């Protein structure tokens, strides 16, 4: 298993550009870069630019992964660049992006069903939209993915659904069954599953046979009145049992790339830290929208979060307010990356799933 970094979240990505980002990643001990979409490499799908990035990644010995965008038609208007790539034709935009990736051997492609929203509680995800039901969104997603399937088969690529904030692993598995695992896989975001009330190890066991890309990050989760506060933290600082998760993933895909998704510097992204994602865990409307969750998993989830909450109360772990009060700029983002790398390096070595030629730090 090789360890890499998200090409959009790595500090100074916009300043350095894709080639500079590859060099930056290499200098930080990374073994690959996962650009969120191929449009992050070249907004115009310029073959010369993509070729340069591909060649430079190969010269540096880095894996190169990328993605496409949202495949939920109700969320597509939020990414007009995808439609623009097709000259106004969304399906053509996807085809052109897929062709550009396949031409340069980028065959594992990230997709998602929606994006996080700046609202509190359940309205922070599209799952609880009132203008269109989540069930209708999933059905529209299924139909659109069936349109993408023949293109993916023709080009020999996989479309990998992220375990994003709004979708459950159960629903992802149903989409894989409906569209076919010959073209659909999973991008496992290790922290996002908590937002849907899923236990990370149980989620990993469900989707491990289909995981083809990753977004590794740890999770802070604190019980509070009405629910749970959740935020991403560096690997090793949260509640995720990475040895158990990675061992499960390795059973099915020993060559899986492990990509960190780090927090970006606040000034660079114009971020003003606020309240973490609030999970309305006890709200009947929230519970109703999670019919697949079993009592056993909900209990395991609650115990996991309760144990971490006790660590927070005992002062063993920083509160989210303390995290917000601390600076988080370039130096802190680099610290996140390097600390996470060391943590995952050590686990891979202890599990015996590290590359033999890897020099650990």
pLDDT in tens, 258-300: 999 999 999 999 999 999 999 999 999 999 999 999 999 999 9
pLDDT of residue 74: 97
| Beta-carbon contacts of residue 132 (< 8 Å; ≥ 6 apart) | 74
Task: Tell the residue number behind the tokens 């799908």, with chain if given.
Answer: 45
Q: What is the DSSP letter of 162?
A: E
Whether residue 178 contacts residue 143, with contact meaning beta carbons closer than 8 Å, is answered with: no
- Please state whether beta strands 258-260 and 277-279 pair in parallel, antiparallel, or not at all (unpaired): unpaired
Q: And the tokens for 226?
A: 């009405």
pLDDT in tens, 184-222: 999 999 999 999 999 999 999 999 999 999 999 999 999
- Sheet arrangement for strand 211-215: 211-215, 184-189, 158-162, 108-112, 63-70, 32-34, 3-6, 258-260
pLDDT of residue 361: 43
pLDDT of residue 356: 61
What's the mean pLDDT in 11-19? 96
pLDDT in tens, 136-172: 999 999 999 999 999 999 999 999 999 999 999 999 9
| Beta-carbon contacts of residue 24 (< 8 Å; ≥ 6 apart) | 10, 11, 12, 16
**pLDDT tier, 29 (very low <50, low <70, confident <90, very high otherwise):** very high
d(CA 311, CA 213): 31
pLDDT of residue 357: 54
d(CA 125, CA 68): 20
- The more confidently predicted of residues 329 and 356 is 329
Beta strands in the chain (DSSP E): 3-6, 32-34, 63-70, 108-112, 158-162, 184-189, 211-215, 218-224, 227-233, 258-260, 277-279
pLDDT of residue 126: 97
Is the pLDDT score of 103 beyond 50?
Answer: yes
What's the mean pLDDT in 122-132? 96
pLDDT of residue 354: 81
Query: What is the CATH number that goes with domain 3-351?
Result: 3.20.20.150
Is the pLDDT score of 359 beyond 80?
Answer: no
Secondary structure of the chain: what % helix, strand, coil (to 5)? 50, 15, 35
Average pLDDT over all residues of the chain? 96
Whether residue 197 contacts residue 291, with contact meaning beta carbons closer than 8 Å, is answered with: no
Whether residue 199 contacts residue 228, with contact meaning beta carbons closer than 8 Å, is answered with: no
**pLDDT tier, 86 (very low <50, low <70, confident <90, very high otherwise):** very high
Q: In 278-315, which positions are buried (b, 16+ CB within 10 angstroms) versus exposed (e)?
A: bbbbeeeebeebbeebeeebbebbeebbeebbeebeee
d(CA 53, CA 59): 10
pLDDT > 70: percent of the chain: 98
pTM over 0.85: yes
- The backbone torsions φ and ψ at residue 197, rounded to the nearest 5 degrees and listed phi first, read 75, 15
What's the mean pLDDT in 244-261? 96
Helix extents (H) in 5-73: 13-27, 38-41, 47-60
- The more confidently predicted of residues 360 and 115 is 115
pLDDT in tens, 294-312: 999 999 999 999 999 999 9
d(CA 207, CA 169): 7
- Chain-centroid distance of CA 242 in Å reads 15
Whether residue 239 contacts residue 305, with contact meaning beta carbons closer than 8 Å, is answered with: yes
Is the pLDDT score of 115 beyond 80?
Answer: yes
pLDDT of residue 360: 42
pLDDT of residue 358: 53
């Amino acid at each position: 298993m090789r360890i890499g970094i998200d090409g959009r979240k790595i500090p100074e990505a916009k300043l350095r550009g894709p080639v500079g980002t590859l060099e930056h990643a290499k200098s930080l001990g990374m073994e690959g870069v996962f650009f969120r979409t191929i449009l992050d490499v070249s907004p115009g799908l310029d073959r010369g630019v993509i070729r340069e990035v591909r060649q430079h990644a190969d010269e540096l010995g880095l894996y190169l992964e990328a993605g496409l965008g949202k495949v939920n038609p109700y969320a597509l208007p939020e990414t007009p660049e995808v439609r623009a790539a097709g000259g106004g034709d969304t399906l053509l935009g996807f085809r052109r992006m897929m062709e550009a990736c396949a031409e340069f051997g980028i065959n594992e492609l990230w997709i998602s069903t929606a994006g996080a929203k700046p609202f509190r509680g359940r309205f922070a995800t599209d799952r609880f939209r009132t203008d269109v039901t989540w069930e209708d969104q999933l059905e529209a997603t299924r139909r659109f993915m069936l349109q993408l399937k023949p293109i993916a088969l023709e080009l020999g690529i996989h479309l990998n659904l992220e375990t994003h904030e709004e979708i459950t692993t159960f629903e992802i598995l149903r989409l894989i069954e409906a569209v076919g695992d010959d073209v659909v896989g999973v991008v496992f975001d290790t922290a996002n599953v908590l937002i849907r009330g899923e236990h990370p190890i149980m989620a990993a066991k469900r989707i491990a046979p289909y995981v083809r890309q990753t977004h590794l990050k740890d999770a802070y989760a604190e019980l509070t009145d009405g629910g749970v506060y959740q935020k991403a933290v560096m690997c090793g600082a949260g509640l995720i049992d990475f040895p158990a998760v990675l061992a499960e993933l390795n059973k099915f895909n020993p060559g899986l790339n492990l990509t960190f998704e780090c927090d970006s510097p606040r000034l660079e992204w114009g971020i003003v830290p606020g309240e973490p994602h609030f999970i309305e865990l006890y709200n009947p409307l929230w519970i109703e929208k999670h019919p697949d969750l079993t009592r056993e998993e909900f209990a395991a989830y609650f115990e996991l979060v309760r144990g971490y909450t006790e660590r927070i109360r005992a002062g063993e772990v920083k509160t989210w307010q303390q995290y917000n009060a601390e600076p988080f700029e370039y130096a802190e983002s680099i610290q996140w990356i390097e600390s996470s790398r060391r943590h995952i390096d050590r686990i891979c070595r202890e599990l015996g799933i590290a590359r033999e030629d890897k020099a650990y730090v």
